[in-house]
């Protein structure tokens, strides 16, 4: 069996890095076109039949009739152009985050507005149903197709394909941190293949990895060629003065090699970050998070409407669970537990009882068997859990009564986990920032591993939510919650 040399690996890696962006973008172009042809012509046939009517131009123009088929072709062409103009197929927005979907929506809405303006100015007698159905349906199917592609791309990136091959440049501490975070999220498409750490004392790989380390900052191009990197990520600029940064960027091959600068900002959402060039300096402005005003009222309205609808539609299920608990084991249907909420205020959190009565008194005897993290008690085969309680916990059905906490205002649909008072006593000072917002029935930690997470990861996810929450983000977490509950991942 023949062996592949290091040089061949580098050439193949460079070739892949040079081509995957164009390959993926061309596939998106094809599927976008197929989607729009199917939607626009489908709506045309549905609305007019096979023999489509004509569009009439009024006003001062001579009466002109144009076939709806020609109009459909024009709309499809313009729609494809708008998707390209708004950069919805750019590799920087693909695979993670919501920017890709926002660009698709922006291009669609702008085109819809342009069609409306043109039809008004030239008095074009469009069939309103044709337009009002084609645009929202087209947007929905476009977003769905992009989501399908994203699933495929994520699977490929887990295998190391369709990703930027990254050479980190900076201090050892910053390179280790960035390598760890990028490895945590391979779907983002940045695969670290090497690091250049000036002044490193002869250690040739980062801890717990096989990533090679280079020590000469003046030979970045050689390091990139050795590991087949196509992207340089500067993780810190301690060893890179402004002139050296300029030289580094000038040395990269335009269009094939890329430079990314990672500031020392972590867990800050994109909407809070704004880049503003001042005197030739790309200054990054970071807005401080706000927990007041219209955003709070919008969140409360969202919570009230969402919890009320869920209680209404789930009322038969709630009643069935209550009856099953009452008939299966002695004790109350609901379990009320003291929890710490917004601003450190205490409240009674409701759950369907999933344990035997007196379970709290037995906790001290089980502490040494905890399988959770260093602060939260978790146990896979907790002897206090009743048979029906195991079923309820498996699908998180025991959490449903917290909808009434949301209606009462002590909780939110989405937020940090509401802790026990004994857990709060173990908090470090910075962890108390999670009390700036209401605790939630679900949150980032619940959809990211739940009981399988370390305490540090739990805190990091909760604080990220506190710093960056939004209604759109809440909707995304609720959607991910449904998938997490069905997969039963991390549910004890």
Q: Is residue 93 part of a domain?
A: yes
Same domain, residue pair 140 and 211: no
Same domain, residue pair 112 and 168: no
Neighbours of 52 (CB within 10 A): 19
Q: Is residue 1 part of a domain?
A: no
Same domain, residue pair 434 and 397: yes
Which of 133, 158, 183 corresponds to the end of one domain?
158
Q: Is residue 273 part of a domain?
A: no
What is the SS3 string spanning 331-396?
Answer: CCCEEEEEEECHHHCEEEEEEECCECCCCHHHHHHCHHHCCCCCCCCCCCCCCCECHHHHHHHHCC
Alpha carbons within 13 angstroms on the beta-carbon side of residue 8 total 4
Which of 242, 264, 286 corresponds to the end of one domain?
264
Per residue in 273-310, pLDDT (tens digit) is 767 777 666 777 776 677 777 888 899 999 999 999 99
pLDDT at 240: 75
pLDDT at 486: 75
Q: Is residue 66 part of a domain?
A: yes
Same domain, residue pair 331 and 461: yes
What confidence category does residue 2 fall into, taking pLDDT thresholds of 50, 70 and 90?
Answer: very low
Please tell me what DSSP assigns to residue 92. Answer: G
Which of 127, 158, 189 corresponds to the end of one domain?
158
Same domain, residue pair 210 and 94: no
Mean per-residue pLDDT, 382-409:
89
Q: Is residue 417 part of a domain?
A: yes
pLDDT at 293: 78
Q: Is residue 260 part of a domain?
A: yes
Same domain, residue pair 231 and 169: yes
Same domain, residue pair 152 and 182: no
Query: What is the CATH classification number for the domain harbouring 255?
Result: 3.40.50.1980
Same domain, residue pair 249 and 316: no
Q: Is residue 79 part of a domain?
A: yes
Range of the domain at 67: 6-158
Same domain, residue pair 328 and 193: no
Same domain, residue pair 455 and 316: yes
Same domain, residue pair 254 and 333: no
Overall residue count recorded for the chain in this entry: 492
Q: What is the pTM of this model?
A: 0.66
Percent of residues in the chain assigned helix, strand, coil, to nearest 5: 55, 15, 30
What confidence category does residue 173 fall into, taking pLDDT thresholds of 50, 70 and 90?
Answer: confident
Neighbours of 154 (CB within 10 A): 16
CA–CA dist 28, 95 (Å, integer): 12
* Number of domains within the chain: 3
What confidence category does residue 8 fall into, taking pLDDT thresholds of 50, 70 and 90?
Answer: very low
Same domain, residue pair 103 and 210: no
C-beta of residue 239 within 8 angstroms of C-beta of residue 217: yes
Q: Is residue 283 part of a domain?
A: no
Per residue in 89-139, pLDDT (tens digit) is 887 788 777 789 989 999 999 999 888 888 777 776 667 777 888 899 999
């Amino acid at each position: 069996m023949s062996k592949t040399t290091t040089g061949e690996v580098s050439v193949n890696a460079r070739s892949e890095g040079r081509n995957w962006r164009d390959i993926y973008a061309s596939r998106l172009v094809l599927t976008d076109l197929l989607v729009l042809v199917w939607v626009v012509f489908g709506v045309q046939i549905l609305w007019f039949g096979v023999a489509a009517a004509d569009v009439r131009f009024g006003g001062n123009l001579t009466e002109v009739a144009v076939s709806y088929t020609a109009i459909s072709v024009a709309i499809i062409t313009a729609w494809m152009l708008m998707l390209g103009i708004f950069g919805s197929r750019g590799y920087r927005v693909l695979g993670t985050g919501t920017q890709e979907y926002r660009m698709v929506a922006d291009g669609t809405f702008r085109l819809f507005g342009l069609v409306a303006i043109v039809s008004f100015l030239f008095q074009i007698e469009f069939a309103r149903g044709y337009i009002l159905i084609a645009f929202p349906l087209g947007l929905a199917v476009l977003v769905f197709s992009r989501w399908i592609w994203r699933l495929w791309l994520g699977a490929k990136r887990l295998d190391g394909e369709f990703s930027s091959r990254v050479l980190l440049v900076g201090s050892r501490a910053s390179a280790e941190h960035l390598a760890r975070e990028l490895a945590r999220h391979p779907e983002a498409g940045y695969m670290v293949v090497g690091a250049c750490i000036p002044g490193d004392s002869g250690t040739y790989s980062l801890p717990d990895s096989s990533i090679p380390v280079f020590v000469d900052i003046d030979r970045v191009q050689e390091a990139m060629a050795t590991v087949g990197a196509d992207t340089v990520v500067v993780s810190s600029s301690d060893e890179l003065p402004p002139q050296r940064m300029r030289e580094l960027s000038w040395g990269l091959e335009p269009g094939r090699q890329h430079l990314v600068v990672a500031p020392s900002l972590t867990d800050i959402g994109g909407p809070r970050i704004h880049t503003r060039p001042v005197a030739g300096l790309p200054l990054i402005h970071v807005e401080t998070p706000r927990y007041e005003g219209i955003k709070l009222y919008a969140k409360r309205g969202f919570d009230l409407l969402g919890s009320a609808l869920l209680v209404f539609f789930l009322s038969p299920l709630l009643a069935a669970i209550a009856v099953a608990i009452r008939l299966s084991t002695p004790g109350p249907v609901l379990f009320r537990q003291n929890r710490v909420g917004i601003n450190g205020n205490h409240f009674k959190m409701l759950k369907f009882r999933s344990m035997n009565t007196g379970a709290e008194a037995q906790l001290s005897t089980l502490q040494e068997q905890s399988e959770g993290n260093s602060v939260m008690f978790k146990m896979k085969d907790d002897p206090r859990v009743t048979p029906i309680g195991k079923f309820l916990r498996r699908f998180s059905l025991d959490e449903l009564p917290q909808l009434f906490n949301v209606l009462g205002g002590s909780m939110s649909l989405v937020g940090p986990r509401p802790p026990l008072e004994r857990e709060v006593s173990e908090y470090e000072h910075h962890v108390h920032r999670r009390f700036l917002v209401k605790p939630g029935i679900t949150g980032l930690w619940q959809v990211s591993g739940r009981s399988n997470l370390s305490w540090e990861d739990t805190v990091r996810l909760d604080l990220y939510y506190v710093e960056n929450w939004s209604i759109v983000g809440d909707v995304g977490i609720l959607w991910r919650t449904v998938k997490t509950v069905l997969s039963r991942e991390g549910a004890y």
